[in-house]
Structure 1
Amino acid sequence: MEQSWKKAKAVFAGALGPPLFWLVAFFLVPMGIVWAYSFGENRGLTEIVIDGTFQNYARVFEPLYLLIFWKSAWTAALTTLFCLILGFPVALAITFAPSKLKAWLLLLVMLPFWTNLLVRTYALIAVLRTEGYINLTLGWIWTRLTGAAFTPLELLHNNFAVVVGLVYVHLPFMVLPLYSALDRLDRSLLEASLDLGAGHLRTLFSVVVPMALPGIASGVVITFIPALGAYLTPDLLGGPESQMIANVIERQFKRANDWPFGAALSFVLMYLTFLAIAVQAVSARTRKAAEP
């Protein structure tokens, strides 16, 4: 028995070794280097001296950067809200779809992951730009109805385009956890609610939504965190007033050549991410403890 346990430990160590090495060498070590940079300062054009200063973190709390953090959090929260509003009916429809159709609907939800994000963003630009499909369609309808010239809508390079792009990119992250939670619902409770006289809307908000709270919480976290750190979408779809914190971090590393401050901004963003995950975990634990 003892010999078999030693063999099992060897097999376990052999299976764990390569991924653990990869995690340490290509994730933890680089992250540690960047974290160390956040306590340094530039000396000359290329030299960074790590002297334990907190000056970079103090700069994060300047009004300009606090405003950018707040705007990024607000944009991410708005994106999460729209994803929840749009994703819940989609997840509900997939849950109650016939078994043969359910697999195809899930495939359609996951289909965007098969296409590169850059390609999808440029496709969205083709839809939103001044000569894009939306303005061409609206112009054709307006001309037919009124006979007057149509002034194209400014749908690109603004906050509207950023939110639309983020919802477009992150909607599957909301739908899949919601579907996972809704698919485990006890449908007899829905039938009982309807039999007792509750309408469909009351059943939805009084039975379905409370039972789907774990999926909603997971979907909110999984959607909010990537949206908070989004870079490509606001960079391509947004204007000068639509930049988020990830775009500011990119400029510190590439254009301003201020790696210590860029590292401090990066880790403040990471701390906020950890805080969101911790809040979700505490909320889930509290909800589980309150269950009978």
Structure 2
Amino acid sequence: MASTAGAAPVTTAPASDDSSRRRGLTGYFLLIPGVVWLALFFVIPFYSLVAASLFDPSGSVVNGYEMTFHFQNYPDALRDYWEPLVRSLGYAALATLICLVLGYVLAYAIAFKAGRWKNLMLVLVIAPFFTSFLIRTLSWKLILADDGIVVNTLQAVHILGAEGRLLATPVAVIAGITYNFLPFMVLPLFASIDKIDHRLIEASSDLYANPFVGFWKVTWPLSLPGVVSGTLLTFIPAAGDYINAQLLGSPNQRMVGNVIQNLFTNANDYPAASALSMILMILIIAMVLFYVRRAGTEELL
């Protein structure tokens, strides 16, 4: 009988290495659809926008545009359209503040007071999304109409004069923005508030803190991630909105989105429209980075 005492041990390391290598490559293959999607619908359009913002402004749609790296398009766009740009940021900031106040109260009530009706309340919050954005805004046009119940009531209590109106005013535009983007504020706030341990709130009262102090020392700090998320989700789309200003406002309430749309579709001034779009994007990114850093919420970084 042959001895096997000196036989070398059998090893399966190469097969194991091949299996690990295949598993590692599988992750990269799974990334391909997402990378292709981002390249087609983000990277390429973004490059096109940046390139158009540097076109020679003397060109036209008929004769074509020449890439001359005309950076002067940026200061020219800022000089010509700074008013609607500032107006857009102001409207968006005010609407975001109103959404924060209303949304926080609503999210707090749903999280702590709704009980078994919590899910139903959340469905009611997102119910407006089942209707077109355009239809919702047109509904506000009917609500705030000159002969509508809101204007008639305000005139009856002498808040508005006999010839007073709400349509074609900043009030109507901000009201429309607030209504349309309020769910974007409520949902992150609810997700953050609902995670707060009730025992921490009870502990604050045990330490002789009144409800107001307990809220500012316990509830508010713990809900800050939701506050930051909600304000960002509300402010960013609100700053670029143009439907509310178009349907509920007048030329005096024109926002930067209306200007960009007009430059692209009517004036066919692609360099100015692209430069203004880039300026808005850069401003929003800078404001968001500053806000998140100042808020100090590490969960968002």
TM-score normalised by length of structure 1: 0.88
1:27-66 alignment runs, 5 A limit: 27-41=42-56, 42-46=58-62, 47-62=64-79, 64-66=80-82
- Identify the residue that residue 125 of structure 2 maps to in structure 1: 109
The SS at the match of 2:48 is helix
Counterparts of 1:170 and 1:187, CA distance in 2: 29
TM-aligned CA deviation for residue 67 of structure 1: 2.3
Q: 5 Å matches for 1:138-177?
A: 142=156, 151=162, 153-177=164-188
Cross-structure match for 1:25: 40
Aligned to 1:228: 239
Aligned pair count reads 280
Contact 2:60 2:268 (8 Å CA) reproduced: no
Structure 2: gaps spanning 5 or more residues: 1-15
| Structure 1 equivalent of residue 282 of structure 2 | 271
| Code of the aligned partner of 2:132 | N
Cα 1:288–1:45 change in 2 (3 A) is: closer
2:86 to 64, 70, 73: 70
SS in 1 for 2:241: coil
Alignment correspondent of 2:4: none
RMSD of aligned Cα (Å) = 2.2
| Per-residue deviation, residues 145-203 of structure 1 (Å, max 9, x unmatched) | 99xxx936411111110000000011111111111111111211211122232222222
* Contact 1:221 1:276 (C-alpha < 8 Å) held by counterparts: no
**CA apart distance, 1:29:** 0.7
Q: Which residue of 2 aligns with 1:207?
A: 218
Equivalent of residue 248 in structure 1, options 259, 269, 282: 259
Q: One-letter code of the match for 2:22?
A: K
CA distance in 1, matches of 2:192, 2:51: 41
Measured after TM superposition, the shift of residue 6 of structure 1 is 3.0
Equivalent residue for 1:2? 17
Amino acid at match of 1:2: D
* Distance in 2, Cα, partners of 1:163 & 1:27: 30
Percent identity reads: 36
Cα distance in 1 for residues equivalent to 2:298 and 2:25: 37
Of structures 1 and 2, the larger Rg is shown by 2
The CA deviation string for residues 14-40 of structure 1, in whole angstroms up to 9 with x for no partner, is: 332223212211221122112101001
Partner of 1:89: 105
Give 1:9 deviation, angstroms. 3.7
Counterparts of 1:131 and 1:5 in 2: how far apart (Å)?
72
Taking a change above 3 Å as real, the CA distance of residues 9 and 130 of structure 1, as seen in their structure-2 partners, is: same
The range that moved more, 3-12 or 72-81, is 3-12
- Tell me how far 1:287 sits from its aligned partner: 4.9
